[in-house]
Amino acid sequence: MSTDQKNAGADAPDADLEFIPTETNLTVADDGLPTARMNSWAGVIGDTAGSLVAETQDLRRRRLAAAALFLACLSAGLLAWALVTGKLWEHWGTGVIRGAQLLVAAAAAAVLLSQIPLSRRAVRGIEFALFGAFAISIGISQYLFGVEYLRQGDAVAMANYLKNGVIGTIILVLLYGALIPNDAVTAAKAILSMALVPVLAFTLLMELEHPDLIAELESMRSSEHAGSNVVALMAGASLAIYCAHILNGLRKDLHDARKFGQYHLGRRIGAGGMGEVFLAEHQLLKRPCALKLIKGDGGDPLALARFEREVKSAARLSHPNTIAIYDYGQTEDGTFYYVMEYLPGMSLQELVSQYGPVPAARLLYLMRQVCGGLAEAHALGIIHRDLKPANIFVAIRGGEADVAKILDFGLVKLTADPEAPELTTDRSVSGTPAFMSPEQATGDRPVDPRTDVYALGAIAYYALTGRPPFDGATAMAVMIAQVRDPVVPPSQIRDDVPEDLERVILRCLAKDPDDRYPNVKALARDLAACAAAREWDEEKADAWWNDLVEPVAAPAPV
């Protein structure tokens, strides 16, 4: 949350005063879901939480990118050195080979570091192309200079250049063995191939182009030099294979050790001031899920109390438009965690940032679902207090598209329990300034369901226009605007905003809570009465998701 996380609300005016990590990047496919591949999670396609295969795929891409960058820098350095020493002008082949190496490595790094979705086969193809190209280029370089030195009869220069080729090959195989994740057998096949390719390329080119020089080559080679080169090459290849074997074993041990109860941790997809979110998988059910835990030693009693409140509050909710909680626990070292459903899709913030403002009909479709989830929470005395586009997730669940999910209950206020402690520090403000109600900003009156109604109005405003209702250079400036400034009607920003929907949004954004909707049920009724509410349905939602790029692969077993 790949990359790997894009923190929602990272802009200055929208930054959380108390950041609670959300599950905004929980984007994995359930079996058979016809969801699509989005740019924000391009590197996660086909992965499963806790799957060693999935972890290896992600690690391979990152390590291969690092190897490509290293080889590009090395090629650039050697090219610059040849230019400075004048060898570039003496031997034109040097410039051609170094330039080709630099182009291949730079192109591989650019593709691997981009957001372009790559399958396992594509990453493997780049791996073989990158290392194969460098191995072949070493052989071609040996051939070009070998022919020159043979014609000059310079045995010393010939021996030195052959040794340089051996050193280059050893560096290449050690780089592969240390960086690219493979088991010993796979690594051995690739490494031995790279060790032999330069020799084979050199020999083949000599046989094809200069058979007359082969006899002279044999006479110039001393058995001592030839033997030492072979020994050095085999020693380097053996060390590279051993490194791959050891590192692969350590990786498997780490994979097996990353368990929380019955759950196996995969990659981290979220991080914030209070905790972290990881992809995970139930060991017996093989069900992908998301696991949230307290960072560090969990010594902050306020953080622990918020964490406990979040899981208990969310666990009391059963509405289909609220994130489902599966489990809760504590490890032997005192780390608290809870497990929630794993959502394919994207947050409302990601939807707007990637695809532009949301059509009114679709927004109505989503907001009515959110109102349903909040209605249950409010009936139980749970006020969210941190509703924002990053905490509204647009998912595909059970084959149904555009299912809205409410996330992150870390800042809830339990109004039904007067004895519940306030889990914020003295004189602090809880929430996200751009979507915070005036009473939250000033703290001059207690929050109630109308606080969340205000946030829903701000979210709808953002979804329709692409920007929050109030902006400012700092969080304080935004909060002052929430309290003091009149809101600019969304139709003055986008002329396609329906008049009836605008009236609903402006009522939600009233400064005085008494002027807002008294509860989300009343808001939902007016949303349903808007003319555009009948223009978006499940069929259109399915069509939108299916038109993105391509279906997401179903989770593979561990």
Domains along the chain with CATH numbers: 12-33+261-341 (3.30.200.20), 52-257 (no CATH)
Average pLDDT taken over every residue of the chain: 77
Neighbours of 242 (CB within 10 A): 14
Identify the band that residue 272 occupies on the pLDDT scale cut at 50, 70 and 90.
Answer: low
Q: What is the torsion angle, in degrees rounded to the nearest 10, for the CA atoms of residue 465, residue 433, residue 430 and residue 512?
A: -80
Give the whole-angstrom CA distance, residue 195 versus residue 202: 12
Identify the band that residue 11 occupies on the pLDDT scale cut at 50, 70 and 90.
Answer: very low
Residue 456 or residue 255, greater confidence: 456
Q: What is the torsion angle, in degrees rounded to the nearest 10, for the CA atoms of residue 506, residue 512, residue 515 and residue 518?
A: 100
Helix/strand/coil for 378: helix
Do residues 457 and 471 touch, judged by C-beta distance below 8 A? no
Q: Kindly state the average pLDDT of the residues 372-384.
A: 92
User: How high is the pLDDT of residue 255?
Assistant: 58
Predicted confidence (pLDDT) at residue 456 exceeds the cutoff of 60: yes
Predicted confidence (pLDDT) at residue 103 exceeds the cutoff of 90: yes
Residue 280 or residue 521, greater confidence: 521
Q: Kindly state the average pLDDT of the residues 406-430.
A: 53
Identify the band that residue 446 occupies on the pLDDT scale cut at 50, 70 and 90.
Answer: confident
Q: Which residue in the block uniquely carries the two structure tokens 């696991």?
A: 291
Predicted confidence (pLDDT) at residue 27 exceeds the cutoff of 50: no
User: How high is the pLDDT of residue 228?
Assistant: 72
Compute CA distances 45 → 62, 153, 348, 437, 555, whole Å: 15, 57, 20, 38, 9
Task: Give me the amino acid identity at 503.
Answer: R
Predicted confidence (pLDDT) at residue 422 exceeds the cutoff of 50: no
The tokens of 192 are what?
């031995």
Question: DSSP labels for 39-51?
Answer: GGGGGGTT--TT-
User: How high is the pLDDT of residue 354?
Assistant: 92
Residue 526 or residue 185, greater confidence: 526
Q: Which of 35, 47, 117, 46 is nearest to 394 (CA)?
A: 35
Which residues face 548 on adjacent strands?
none
Query: Sign of dihedral through CA atoms 96, 98, 104, 109?
Result: negative
User: How high is the pLDDT of residue 49?
Assistant: 34
Q: Which of 506, 524, 517 is nearest to 373 (CA)?
A: 524
Q: Kindly state the average pLDDT of the residues 78-104.
A: 78
- Please name the residues in contact with 162: beta carbons below 8 A apart, sequence gap of 6 or more: 142, 146, 225, 229
Question: DSSP labels for 361-395?
Answer: HHHHHHHHHHHHHHHHHHHTTEE-----GGGEEEE
Q: Kindly state the average pLDDT of the residues 463-471.
A: 94
Task: Give me the amino acid identity at 399.
Answer: G
Q: Kindly state the average pLDDT of the residues 28-49.
A: 30
Residue 155 or residue 63, greater confidence: 63
Q: CA angle 463-4-245, nearest 5°?
A: 155
User: How high is the pLDDT of residue 10?
Assistant: 34
Residue 124 or residue 337, greater confidence: 124
Give the whole-angstrom CA distance, residue 139 versus residue 132: 11
Q: Which of 58, 70, 203, 186 is nearest to 128 (CA)?
A: 186
Q: Kindly state the average pLDDT of the residues 49-57.
A: 56
User: How high is the pLDDT of residue 149?
Assistant: 66
Predicted confidence (pLDDT) at residue 1 exceeds the cutoff of 80: no
User: How high is the pLDDT of residue 42?
Assistant: 26
Residue pLDDT, tens place only, 310-345? 677 777 888 999 988 888 777 666 777 888 888 888
Angle, to 10 degrees, between the axis of helix 155-179 and the axis of helix 120-152? 170
**What is the percent of the chain with per-residue pLDDT over 70, rounded to a whole number?**
68
Query: Sign of dihedral through CA atoms 120, 123, 125, 131?
Result: negative
Judged by average pLDDT, the poorest of 93-97, 409-413, 445-449, 500-504 is 409-413
Predicted confidence (pLDDT) at residue 494 exceeds the cutoff of 50: yes
Predicted confidence (pLDDT) at residue 96 exceeds the cutoff of 70: yes
Predicted confidence (pLDDT) at residue 442 exceeds the cutoff of 50: yes
Do residues 388 and 457 touch, judged by C-beta distance below 8 A? no
Residue 501 or residue 251, greater confidence: 501
Give the whole-angstrom CA distance, residue 295 versus residue 308: 14
Q: Is 535 exposed, middle or buried (0-12, 13-18, 19+ CB in 10 A)?
A: middle
Count how many Cα atoms sit within 13 Å of the Cα of residue 5 in the half-sphere of its side chain: 22
Query: Sign of dihedral through CA atoms 447, 452, 454, 455?
Result: positive
Query: Which helix (DSSP H) or strand (DSSP E) does residue 77 occupy?
Result: helix 52-85
Q: What is the torsion angle, in degrees rounded to the nearest 10, for the CA atoms of residue 294, residue 300, residue 301 and residue 304?
A: -10
Do residues 53 and 556 touch, judged by C-beta distance below 8 A? yes
Q: What is the torsion angle, in degrees rounded to the nearest 10, for the CA atoms of residue 421, residue 427, residue 432 and residue 436?
A: 90
Identify the band that residue 277 occupies on the pLDDT scale cut at 50, 70 and 90.
Answer: confident
Identify the band that residue 520 occupies on the pLDDT scale cut at 50, 70 and 90.
Answer: very high
Do residues 107 and 69 touch, judged by C-beta distance below 8 A? no
